[in-house]
Amino acid sequence: MTRFVDAALAFPTVLFSFLLVVVVAYWVLVLIGVAGLDGDEAVDATEVTGFAGVLAGLGLGGVPVSVTVSLLIVIAWFVSLAGSTLVSGTPALTAVLAAALACAWLGTRLVVLPLRRTVPKERVPSRADFVGRTCVIRTGRVSRDFGQAEATAADGSSALIQVRQTGDETFLAGGTALIFAYDDAGEFFWVMPYDAELDPDRPI
């Protein structure tokens, strides 16, 4: 037992021993409900900045950061502990540290690959979310080449959008219209006169 403690508190294992204590304490708090598991969705390096972006750039993204960091620390600690008991001398222990970091990355990557399939990716809001919803006209008229309206998505977010119509209907400011399509090339929405029966938010 004494040899184990000495090895855990010696270089290079000591670099990870205190981090391991933090990791264990964190997961204990998660298990008893005091702390919550962070909910980082599956992402890649182009979508995330900061530390999460660094992990994604190393191929370790796609799962909660707490899981990735915990795996890195546990694997690095175990490899450094095993290596330091087999070799001695500063050069050899430095090599053990390098090996521990490499094994931590490789081991974590192998575990993350199947795990990320179970983590739902964040759904990125799209302009298409407004299609099929009603909007409030904000300009005095709507034609084939002019018009603006305020639309509200299902999550409650609203936006001022460009709208157009295919016919010669009269749309007044403050009136309600139904969005039925989106034009990618022109970056505007097609609208038609509002029919209460088509309102997705009307009470049933």
pLDDT digits (tens, 9 = 90+) for 185-200: 889 999 999 866 555 5
Q: Which tokens go with 97?
A: 């540290």
| pTM of the predicted structure, to 2 decimals | 0.57
* Residue 200 pLDDT: 52
Q: Which tens digits make up the pLDDT trace of 66-122?
A: 899 999 999 999 999 999 888 888 889 999 999 999 999 999 999 998 888 776 665
* Residue 46 pLDDT: 43
Q: Which tens digits make up the pLDDT trace of 6-52?
A: 888 889 999 999 999 999 999 988 888 776 565 444 444 444 556 77
Q: Cα–Cα distance between 139 and 68 in angstroms, integer?
A: 51
Q: Which tokens go with 160?
A: 């001022």
Rounded to whole angstroms, the maximal C-alpha distance in the chain is 88
Q: Which contiguous run of DSSP H or E holds residue 180? A: strand 176-183
| Domain chopping of the chain, boundaries | 2-118, 127-198
The CATH number of 127-198 is which of 2.40.50.140, 3.40.50.1110, 3.20.20.220, 3.40.50.300? 2.40.50.140
* Residue 49 pLDDT: 55
Closest to 188 measured CA to CA, from 153, 132, 144, 141: 144
